[in-house]
Amino acid sequence: MHTNPRDPYQNRFRHSHTYIVLIDICKCANAKILVSYPYQIGSELVQLRTATLENSAIYINCGGEEVTINHKTYEQDSVNNGVSTFRLGTNWAVSSTGSFLDSSDKNNFIATAKNKLSMPNFELYKNARITPLSLTYFGLCLSNGNYSVKLHFSEIIFSDYNGHPSPGRRIFDVYIQGELVLKDFNIRDEANGSEKAIVKTFPAVVTRKTLEIRFHWAGRGTTTVPMSGSYGPLISAISVESAFEPPSKSKWFLIGITSAAISAAILLIFVAWKKGYFRCKEAIDTDLRGLETVSFSLRQILTATSNFSSSNKIGEGGFGSVYKGRLPDGTVIAVKQLSANSSQGNHEFINEIGMISALQHPNLVKLYGCCVEGNQLLLVYEYMENNSLARALYGPKQCQLKLDWSTRHKICVGIAKGLTYLHEESMIKIVHRDIKATNVLLDIDLNPKISDFGLAKLDEKGNTHISTRIVGTIGYMAPEYATRGYLTEKADVYSFGIVTLEIITGKYVSGYINKEKYHLLDMAYAAKEEGDLLSLVDKRLGVEYDQDEALGMISVAILCAHSSPLYRPSMSIALKMLTGETEIPDFVPDPYRFGENPYEMAASSGRNIQPFYIGKFGNDFREWESKTDCVSYDSESHSYLLASSAP
């Protein structure tokens, strides 16, 4: 068993190790299958996996040692994984992600029964593998066909005491081949008690030689009762058996496979040597294998995109060009490209994979996988037929789409749903930090999907976020974040308000009309004062829109884009306002009714922006006031913000 714990958030580019891609070779009578895995190797050592035949069965004792049950040997899986780990067995692999942050034993991912078990085949249940976030087992080099998957469970952590059930509730989801087979699964409820065995059997179809079984904590159940660090998916054993007669394997067939494996290994080492991998050139740390993403080869990507043909270029992403491609099975993909020479891009590349691989929602773009090879860093996404919301609204005329009002409202609601999921519903709470129309993509049915998570940041509840590195896009950044680095999910709410105004008006956040500079937020406040909010609606719609819905949508946009985060609603409340489930509150006056808010005006003109606390500086306020172009009170920080030309 090869163990290689990796943490993507401590990824480093270094000279001390070299990384190449080794291969498992599976052969059958009609086809040869290559399955790639990255491995860390020293400058003088290459670790080669033994070539393996196609398989038709897998038996794993999750969290335990090797054991034979009913003449079937369950392989050991007793290595205590790290926070983000990928490990390879004989014909299977396991990937786990997450850390028990609230536990004193935060890196223990093996559960052991406290009491003596009495159920049949108790050896399978006395240990189990547990994870706080996501655990995935892969069956490798399987013969294509129908299989029976048996998942063995027993709740050995939440034990009953003196006949009283434990208050702990373990709830998680199970996916097989990407399909949800168990939702809100509670082992103890299904087994009618703790320390009792329950076996769940499911059919599965293998079409590409691999099987994926994923256990996923969706944030439900107890987390600190009866103890910390005891939540998340728990699995005791897995058995996978074919529902067909496995093909026979002759002596000459075995010799042929062995020869092919040796030849491929020699060729691979030769190619690696020719490319300089053994001469300690700078290489990319493959900590990415700890994440649950498919690894594409550069050859696959080049074939799919016609060698990154300019005719396939569909745009620019957060850190590089984006190309359209097509895989051999017909799947259309979008490939985001970045040179590995960019240290900033490296960080965003790893961050984007780390964030989006843990997220699944209809209004978030789906990540298929990545490619780390040579000097290429590539992300492979689902292809969005209608490109970005920005291009649809105010891109080149030939690219603009005729979005009727109902479609615009649907897009706005979809973005709100995606942000609500990021802020409140996903297992890891995330602030996107770069919500804008170019980062909202539209599928063939004009459903919106939030993309570009390279700048996203984990939202650690209870902590004040003061960022020394301000990132985002001018015009969409919340004032408190743009000027003071104060970051909460309300920064995304502000950006959502601006994007909503763009959807309503069909205009970019700022620009020129008849040579006069405009800002959408300024236009919205002017329309509010004049009692003519409907004047904001895109003139291309004519009168074909729901006026009440438009008024509500405009009001929500203005509220979300309030200069003070205290007055902005959460995304879940904003969503309910848009769908009519919650009343929209009365208009809250905002002191910042400028073409641009005073933060940005001062910053762009080189003036200082300083918080002025009356209690701290007392009478000095008068002296500052005489030097100040703009004095505004910020209710969130309880301070006056002085945009001054004084040093």
- pLDDT tens figures, 37-59: 333 333 222 333 333 467 889 99
Co-location of 455 and 527 in the same domain: yes
Give Cα 425 distance to the centre of its chain: 13
pLDDT at 576 over 60: yes
Residue 490's SS3 state is helix
Domain assignment present for residue 115? The answer is yes
Name the most confidently modeled range: 95-99, 165-169, 476-480: 476-480
What stretches of 306-455 adopt beta strand conformation (E)? 313-316, 321-326, 332-339, 367-373, 376-382, 430-431, 440-442, 448-450
Look at residues 382, 411, 430 and tell me which one is the last residue of a structural domain: 382
Q: Is residue 288 part of a domain?
A: no
Domain boundary among the residues 382, 403, 436 is at 382
**Residue 299 CA to its chain's centroid (Å):** 25
Q: Which residues pair with 333 in a beta bridge?
A: 325, 382
Collect all residues with Cβ–Cβ distance below 8 Å to 127 and sequence separation of at least 6: 61, 62, 63, 64, 65, 78, 110, 111, 112, 113, 236
Q: 6-20, 136-150, 249-263 — which one is most confidently predicted on average?
A: 136-150
Assess whether 45 and 72 both reside in one domain: no
pLDDT at 386 over 60: yes
Q: Tell me: do 172 and 197 sit in the same domain.
A: yes
Instruction: Report yes or no on 611 lying in a domain.
Output: yes
Under the banding of pLDDT at 50, 70 and 90, the label for residue 2 is very low
Residue 312 and residue 406 share a domain: no
What CATH number should be reported for the domain holding residue 542? Answer: 1.10.510.10
Domain extent at residue 147: 55-242
User: Which long-range contacts (C-beta less than 8 Å, at least 24 apart) are formed by 525-530?
Assistant: 525/558, 525/590, 525/593, 526/593, 527/554, 528/558, 528/587
The set of catalytic residues is 434
Assess whether 201 and 107 both reside in one domain: yes
On whether both 231 and 251 belong to a single domain, the answer is no
User: What mean pLDDT do residues 445-461 have?
Assistant: 73
Tell me, yes or no, whether 450 and 548 share the same domain. yes
Q: What CATH number did the domain enclosing 300 receive?
A: 3.30.200.20
One-letter-per-residue 3-state SS of 523-570? HHHHHHHCCCHHHHCCHHHCCCCCHHHHHHHHHHHHHHCCCCHHHCCC
Indicate if 441 and 378 belong to the same structural domain.
no
Q: What is the pLDDT of residue 81?
A: 66
Q: Is residue 597 part of a domain?
A: no
Same domain, 326 and 270: no
336 annotated among ligand-binding-site residues: yes
556 in the same domain as 410: yes
Give the residue from 382, 399, 423 where a domain finishes: 382
Helix axes 490-505, 405-420, angle to 10 degrees: 170
Tell if the pTM clears 0.85, that is, is over it.
Answer: no
Q: Is the pLDDT of residue 280 over 60?
A: no
Is there a domain that residue 427 lies in?
yes
Q: Quick check: is 396 in a domain?
A: yes
Residue 593 in domain = no
Highest-pLDDT range among 18-32, 171-185, 501-515, 611-625: 171-185
Residues in the chain, total: 647
Residue 350 has pLDDT above 90, yes or no: no
Q: Which residue has the higher pLDDT, 636 or 516?
A: 516
User: Does residue 594 lie in a domain region?
Assistant: no
Supply the pLDDT for residue 169.
87
- Banded pLDDT at 359 (limits 50, 70, 90): confident
Say yes or no to pLDDT of 608 above 70: no
Shared domain for 574 and 628, answered yes or no, is no
What confidence tier does 429 reach under pLDDT thresholds 50, 70, 90? confident
Distance CA 58, CA 233 (A): 20
48 and 59 together in one domain: no
pLDDT confidence bin for 269, thresholds 50/70/90: low
Q: Count CB atoms within 10 A of the CB of residue 97.
A: 26
| Residue 281, Ramachandran bin (φ over 0: left; ψ between -120 and 50: alpha; else beta) | beta
Tally of structural domains, the chain: 5
